[in-house]
């Protein structure tokens, strides 16, 4: 297999982390900065070997703060940029996640989640950062977060993450975990020309910054990337649509927070993906990420036992699939929320569902080990 080939079309038996790295390259990513951390290191290892052979750059920085700052800088010179880490790295990156949001920087952030607070357990997966990535930086903002359930989806959704980041000028998170990051399964990589990738809009040359609108467009402003001879103002402080700093006008302040949020929320139908097989179901098993596979196995067991059980999977966790959850709640009697944590998305799901059906939460019997299907079934039989 040629290590110089951009897209490794074919069938592979490799780790989720390998698939993520290959997904990034297939999406046209040409700059990745990172600092090694279990269980995400294989993504960086693979990209450090592969990117220089496909005209890209991999930079190992001194820490995760340097990594995200480098990736933001690379994005502003027009690179498709990414950083990859685990929960402790996300904690360090939070300040600059806010910077990327405020400056409307296209950026992909891979979070291969690990177990527990602080250094925790490096090699064991937990859906531990689900709220942290959406609410962890200060201010008020929206990002996009996607949740893969398999190594194949670590390939597919990494590509989608780049498309969304470029289309909406926003940080997009891939919420993998140590379990699928280190899991090997069949990975099918399609032909290069069959991968559709959205590209960012680039600002046109003009005499002055005030002749362009580079920011705060809810339909996404063209980006004034460096190196094209444009003069542009880029600041994370409150600014107007030209990028000019303004800390005095309340109307500008309102727009500075509201429009990047509207940019995501107004396009939520394009961004939100769910998988719903609850037609005729009385009970919905709601999940995302790795746990979805427990849910599907449990639904299969339940149907064999004559129970009308279906599954509902959130491939997009942020922006939150509120409308889809409401519709589901109105069509089932009971919603059981399954997460490999103590209930991070549960309050958001319950808020949209509890008006129409009964909702409860079930964590795994042992945190970090996704639910046994029989354990879910015994819970359904007891209810």
Partner 1 sequence: MVQTDLTIAGVGGQGSILAGVILGSAAVTNDGKYATQTQAYSSELRGGFAVTWVIIADEPVVFPRVTQPDILVAQAQDSITRFGDSVNPDGILIYDEDMVIEPPGYIKRIYKIPATSLARHEIQAPITANIVMLGALCKITGVVSRDALEKAIAMSVPRGKESLNRDAFNLGFEGVKAC
Binding site for partner 1 (CB under 8 A): 11-13, 123, 179, 182-186, 290, 293-294, 296-297, 300, 369-370, 372-373
Decide whether 15 or 167 has the Cβ nearer to partner 1.
15
Nearest distance in Å: CB 252, partner 1: 50
- 8 A C-beta contact, residue 220 and residue 263: yes
Decide whether 185 or 217 has the Cβ nearer to partner 1.
185
Nearest distance in Å: CB 381, partner 1: 18
- Angle formed by the axes of helices 250-265 and 87-102, to 10°? 120
Nearest distance in Å: CB 285, partner 1: 13
Decide whether 259 or 294 has the Cβ nearer to partner 1.
294
Nearest distance in Å: CB 284, partner 1: 18
* Alpha helix ranges (H) inside the chain: 16-26, 41-50, 64-76, 87-102, 132-135, 151-168, 178-181, 250-265, 268-271, 291-304, 322-329, 346-353, 373-382
- The residues near 225 (Cβ < 8 Å, ≥ 6 apart) are 76, 77, 78, 202, 203
Decide whether 169 or 296 has the Cβ nearer to partner 1.
296
CA 143 to CA 240: how far, in whole Å? Answer: 20
Nearest distance in Å: CB 97, partner 1: 30
Decide whether 104 or 177 has the Cβ nearer to partner 1.
177
Q: How many CB atoms lie within 10 A of CB 317?
A: 24
- The residues near 239 (Cβ < 8 Å, ≥ 6 apart) are 215, 216, 233, 245, 246, 252, 256
Nearest distance in Å: CB 300, partner 1: 7
| Token pair 């109105």 in the structure block, residue | 330
* Size of the chain in residues: 383
Decide whether 80 or 182 has the Cβ nearer to partner 1.
182
């Amino acid at each position: 297999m040629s290590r110089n080939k951009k897209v490794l079309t074919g069938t592979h038996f490799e780790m989720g982390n390998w698939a993520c790295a290959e997904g990034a390259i297939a999406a046209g990513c040409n700059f990745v900065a990172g600092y090694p951390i279990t269980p995400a290191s294989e993504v960086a290892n693979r990209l450090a070997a592969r990117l220089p052979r496909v005209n890209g750059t991999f930079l190992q920085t001194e820490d995760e703060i340097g990594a995200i700052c480098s990736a933001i800088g690379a994005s502003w010179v027009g690179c498709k940029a990414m950083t990859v880490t685990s929960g402790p790295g996300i904690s360090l990156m939070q300040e600059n996640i806010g910077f990327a949001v405020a400056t409307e920087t296209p950026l992909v952030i891979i979070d291969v989640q690990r177990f527990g607070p602080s250094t925790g357990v490096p090699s064991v997966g937990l859906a531990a950062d689900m709220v942290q990535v959406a609410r962890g930086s200060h201010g008020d903002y929206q990002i996009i977060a996607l949740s893969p359930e398999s190594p194949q989806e670590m390939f597919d959704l990494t590509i989608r993450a780049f498309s969304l980041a470029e289309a909406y000028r926003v940080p997009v998170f891939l919420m993998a975990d140590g379990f699928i990051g280190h899991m090997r399964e069949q990975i099918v990589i399609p032909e290069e020309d069959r991968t559709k990738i959205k590209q960012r809009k680039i600002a046109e040359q003009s005499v002055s910054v005030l002749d362009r609108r580079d920011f705060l467009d809810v339909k996404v402003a063209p980006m004034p990337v460096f190196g094209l001879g444009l003069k542009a103002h880029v600041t994370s402080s409150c600014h107007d649509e030209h990028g000019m700093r303004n800390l005095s006008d309340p109307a500008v302040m309102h727009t500075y927070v509201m429009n990047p949020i509207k940019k995501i929320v107004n396009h939520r139908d394009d961004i939100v993906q769910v998988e719903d097989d609850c037609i005729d179901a009385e009970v919905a098993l709601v999940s995302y990420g790795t746990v979805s596979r427990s849910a599907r196995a449990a639904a299969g067991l339940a149907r064999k036992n004559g129970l009308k059980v279906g599954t509902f999977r959130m491939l997009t966790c942020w922006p939150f699939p509120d409308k889809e959850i409401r519709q589901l709640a109105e069509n089932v009697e009971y919603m059981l929320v399954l997460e490999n944590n103590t209930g991070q998305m549960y309050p958001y799901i319950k808020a949209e569902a509890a008006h129409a059906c009964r909702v409860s939460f079930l964590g795994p019997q042992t945190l970090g080990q996704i639910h046994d299907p029989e354990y879910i079934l015994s819970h359904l039989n007891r209810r």
